[in-house]
Chains A and B, each alone.
Chain A
C-alpha cells in the first residue's frame, strides 16, 4: 500500500477513488468491457437493484447517479422542465452525449415518478439497449409481496440470461450472492469504523471509496475497502471538536463532494448517512443455501434499509430507523439535505422531523442540487447547528 506525500496511507486509495469519481467517460468500466470479448455492462439508477443477478450473468453492474457538478448539461435540459430535479437531466446528458454508449442494459428502479418515467424515455431514446423498470413490492409478506418479487427477479434473471446468450444458473447466482455479501460486510465495517472514529475517516473519503463501488467490479471494490480500512487504522489524523451528525435525504441525486466536505469543515462529523444505499441496501447476509432468488427476495422483505421510497406499514415504526441510527452512532443531530424537487425526500421530511422532535434529537434542513456551487450558506447553517449542539445540547 502506497503512502502519499502528505504521509496518509489512505491517500493512495482515496486518490484512485477520486479519479474514478472524476471520470465522466467511465473509462474503467469501458476497459473492463473491452478486456474480453462478449462482456456486457448493465447500468442502474438509485436506489436499489439486485446487482448479484447482473454479476451472475458475468456482466458489470454500473451505478449511474447523474453527472455531478462537473458535467455541463446541454441536451438534458431540453428534456425536463425547470421544476424537475437534476439527476434525470444529467443522466440524459450522459446518454445523449455518448458517455454511456458502451452500456448494454439499463435498470430503472422503483424510486419515484421521475426515474420511473425515465425508463420509458430511455426505451424511446436508446432502442438498442435492454431497458427495464425494476419494480419492487410495497407489500412485505412472503406469500404476497415475496412471491411477486421472486417472479420479478426471475424475469430479470431470464432477460439477462438472454442478453448474454446463456441462462444464468443457480450456482452462478449463489456465487454472486456470496461475493456481494462480503462486499456489504466490508461496507458495514467501513460505516462502523467511521461511526466510531470519524476523524480517522473523513466523510468525503468514505463517500469516494463507496462511490468507487458503482463503477468497479465488486471483487476489486472489496479490495479497495479493505485497503482503505487498513490504511485508516494506521493513519493518525487530528481529532477536531466536531459534533456528530447523521446525514439523510441524499439517497438519489448526489450532493456535490464539496457539500460533504463543507459539513465537516463547518464542524459536523458525518457518522451515518443514506448515500449510495445500493451498497448496503440489504442489511444482513443473504442466505446462500436454497433458492437464490427466494433468498434475495427474503432479504429485501425483511432485511433492507428503510427509506422514503419504501412504504412503512407500521405507523409506530415510521422514522425509527433514523432514531436508531442516531443512537447507534452516538450522533447528536440530524442534517436533512434533500435535492430540490425530490418528491420522496421532501415529502418524507416533515414526518421524519416529527419523529426526531419527539425523540428530542435536533435537526436542520436544506436543499441542494448535484451542481450546487455555493457552499457558504450551507457552511454557515451547518456551523451554527454544530455550535448550537456544542453549546446548548442537553449534555
Chain B
C-alpha cells in the first residue's frame, strides 16, 4: 500500500511591522470600532471623501468621519472587494466605472460589514467635498439614493491654470459659511464654534510638520522609509479620521522619532519581510497602488532592492511639502486652500512639475507610473506625464497598469516582468553614464 503523506506547510513567517505601523493599525481599528458602536453610543456619522476632507470642521460638530474610499481599501486588503464589485455589476453598475464605487455599493448590498466584522452605520449626512474627482459627485448621488440622507455639496474648483484665485477662495468660503456649516449645525444639533475649529487646525499643523519630515527623510541615502507602500500607512491617520486631533499629533511624533532613529542608524525601510536589504533603486511613483495584492505588489519592489522615495498618491489627501499648513488664523480660507491644493485637483502641468522635481530632490533613478483603470482623475494624461518627466529629467520612466480594488485587473506576471525590465533599464542607464564619465 502506498501511503501518500502531505508535507506540512512551513509555518507562515510573521509579517514584520515597525512600532508605528502597529500603532497606526490600532488607531484605525479603534475608529472602526467607534463607528460600528454608533447604535449604542448614539454618535452621528458624516460620510465624506479623503481628498478635501474637512475633518477639523466635522469634529466641531461631534460627528464621526466615515470614508467610503477607505472602506473600499479595507475591503481590497481583505480580499473582499472582488465579490463586492461583482455584486454591484450584478445590480446594474457598468464594468467600466470606478471600482471604489462598486466595492462600496456591493458592500452595502451585502450588509455593509466593516473590517471589524460589524455593520457600519448609515451616515446621517453625506458631505461631498467634491475635490479633484468627478466620480465623487456621482458616487455621493448614488449613496444618497441608498441612504436617503442629507447631502451637502462643497464644490472645489479645479486649478486648471495652476493657481488659486481670489474667486475660488471666496466661492468656497461662501459655501462653507452659508451651506456646509449651517447644515452641519442643523444635523448635529451642535452650534458652530470657530475657536474650536482653530484648535483643531492648530493640531493639524503640528501633525503636518511631522508628516512632512517623515516623507522628506526619503531624501537620505539609503531612504529610511518607503514613501509609497510604507507611505500609505503613514498617511492613514492624517488623511482619514484623525487630522486635527491629539491622537494624530502623538502618532506623527512617534513615527518621526522612529524614522529619525532609522535614519541615524543608516537603515532602510521595514518591509513585511523585515528590514529591506541594500537599496539598489530609488523610484518616484505616480498613481495609487493596487490593494487586492498589496503585499505581493510591494514585494516585487523590495525583492529587487527598489525603494520608493516619493509618490504622488501620498499627496492625494493634502499636499504639505511645499509649505501649506492648516492655518488657525484664517480658519475657513485655510480649509478652502487645503481642498484646492490636493494632488488630483492640480493641473497636469503642475503634476508634471511636482514629479520632475521629486526626481531631482530625492535623487531618484526614475519615474514609475502605476496606472489605475478605475481612476481617470489620476490616469487620463499619464502617458504624457511619463514622456514629459522623462524628457525633463533624463531619467527613465516606466508604466504598469492595475486597479485599486478589482482583483481582475492585477496581473502579477505582467507587472513583475515590466518591473524587472525597468530595473534593467536603470542599470543600463547607469552603465552608460559610468562609461561616459
Closest chain B CB from A317 CB (angstroms): 11
Q: Are B94 and A144 in contact (CB under 8 A)?
A: no
Q: Are A119 and B153 in contact (CB under 8 A)?
A: no
Contacts of A132 in B (CB 8 A): 160-161
Q: Are A79 and B384 in contact (CB under 8 A)?
A: yes
Stretch at the interface among B170-178, B225-233, B239-247, B420-428: B170-178
- How many angstroms between the C-alpha atoms of A117 and B160 in the bound complex? 9
- How many angstroms between the C-alpha atoms of A353 and B175 in the bound complex? 31
Please tell me if A377 contacts chain B, counting CB pairs below 8 Å. Answer: no
Contacts of A88 in B (CB 8 A): 380
Of residues 312 through 360 on chain B, the ones whose CB sits less than 8 Å from some CB of chain A are 347-352
Closest chain A CB from B59 CB (angstroms): 24
Please tell me if B11 contacts chain A, counting CB pairs below 8 Å. Answer: no
Please tell me if A348 contacts chain B, counting CB pairs below 8 Å. Answer: yes
Q: Are A80 and B153 in contact (CB under 8 A)?
A: no
Of residues 137 through 190 on chain B, the ones whose CB sits less than 8 Å from some CB of chain A are 137-139, 141-142, 144-145, 148, 151, 153, 155, 157-158, 160-161, 165, 167-168, 170-171, 174-175, 178-179
Stretch at the interface among A145-153, A167-175, A293-301, A325-333: A145-153
Contacts of A347 in B (CB 8 A): 93-94, 97-98, 101, 135, 138-139, 142
Contacts of A341 in B (CB 8 A): 96, 376
Partner of A147, one of B134, B174, B350: B174
Stretch at the interface among A106-114, A203-211, A225-233, A240-248: A106-114
Contacts of B388 in A (CB 8 A): 124
Stretch at the interface among A64-72, A133-141, A181-189: A133-141
Closest chain B CB from A49 CB (angstroms): 13
- How many angstroms between the C-alpha atoms of A190 and B130 in the bound complex? 37
Please tell me if A373 contacts chain B, counting CB pairs below 8 Å. Answer: no
Q: Are B160 and A120 in contact (CB under 8 A)?
A: yes
Q: Are B144 and A148 in contact (CB under 8 A)?
A: no
Residue of B nearest to A315 (CB): B144
Contacts of B158 in A (CB 8 A): 110, 116, 133, 135
Partner of A137, one of B141, B171, B352: B171
Please tell me if A346 contacts chain B, counting CB pairs below 8 Å. Answer: yes
Q: Are B160 and A144 in contact (CB under 8 A)?
A: no
Please tell me if B260 contacts chain A, counting CB pairs below 8 Å. Answer: no
Closest chain B CB from A73 CB (angstroms): 14
Please tell me if B371 contacts chain A, counting CB pairs below 8 Å. Answer: yes
Contacts of B31 in A (CB 8 A): none
Closest chain B CB from A324 CB (angstroms): 18
Contacts of A308 in B (CB 8 A): 138
- How many angstroms between the C-alpha atoms of A88 and B171 in the bound complex? 30
Give the most central of A83, A312, A367: most B CB within 10 Å.
A83
Complex interface bits, A342-367 against B, C-beta within 8 A gives 1, otherwise 0: 11101111110110000000000001
Of residues 91 through 133 on chain B, the ones whose CB sits less than 8 Å from some CB of chain A are 91-94, 96-98, 101, 128, 130, 133
Q: A112-B134, A120-B160, A133-B161 are in contact. Are A350 and B383 (CB under 8 A)?
A: no
Contacts of A74 in B (CB 8 A): none
Closest chain B CB from A344 CB (angstroms): 7
- How many angstroms between the C-alpha atoms of A244 and B135 in the bound complex? 32
Q: Are B141 and A144 in contact (CB under 8 A)?
A: no
Residue of A nearest to B132 (CB): A113
Q: Are B349 and A123 in contact (CB under 8 A)?
A: yes
Closest chain B CB from A177 CB (angstroms): 22
Q: Are B142 and A351 in contact (CB under 8 A)?
A: yes
Partner of B376, one of A112, A139, A143, A144: A112
Please tell me if A81 contacts chain B, counting CB pairs below 8 Å. Answer: yes
Please tell me if B401 contacts chain A, counting CB pairs below 8 Å. Answer: yes
- How many angstroms between the C-alpha atoms of A348 and B377 in the bound complex? 17
Contacts of B383 in A (CB 8 A): 78-81
Q: Are B92 and A120 in contact (CB under 8 A)?
A: no
Of residues 374 through 409 on chain B, the ones whose CB sits less than 8 Å from some CB of chain A are 376-377, 379-384, 388, 401
Q: A114-B380, A133-B158 are in contact. Are A121 and B348 (CB under 8 A)?
A: yes
Residue of A nearest to B94 (CB): A346
Q: Are A311 and B141 in contact (CB under 8 A)?
A: yes
- How many angstroms between the C-alpha atoms of A338 and B96 in the bound complex? 11
Contacts of A148 in B (CB 8 A): 157, 167-168, 170-171, 174
Closest chain A CB from B150 CB (angstroms): 9
Complex interface bits, A226-269 against B, C-beta within 8 A gives 1, otherwise 0: 00000000000000000000000000000000000000000000
Partner of B170, one of A112, A147, A346: A147
Complex interface bits, A299-315 against B, C-beta within 8 A gives 1, otherwise 0: 00000000011011101
Residue of B nearest to A110 (CB): B158
- How many angstroms between the C-alpha atoms of A353 and B178 in the bound complex? 33
Please tell me if B373 contacts chain A, counting CB pairs below 8 Å. Answer: yes
Please tell me if A8 contacts chain B, counting CB pairs below 8 Å. Answer: no
Please tell me if A318 contacts chain B, counting CB pairs below 8 Å. Answer: yes
Closest chain A CB from B158 CB (angstroms): 6
Closest chain A CB from B305 CB (angstroms): 29
Contacts of A111 in B (CB 8 A): 134
Partner of A124, one of B92, B135, B349: B349
Contacts A120-B160, A311-B155 known; 6 new A-B pairs at CB < 8 A: A124-B349, A145-B171, A155-B165, A318-B145, A347-B135, A348-B138
What are 9 pairs between A and B in contact, CB < 8 Å?
A113-B134, A113-B135, A132-B160, A340-B96, A343-B135, A347-B93, A347-B135, A348-B141, A351-B141
Which 4 interchain pairs have the tightest Cβ spacing?
A: A120-B348, A133-B160, A347-B138, A148-B171
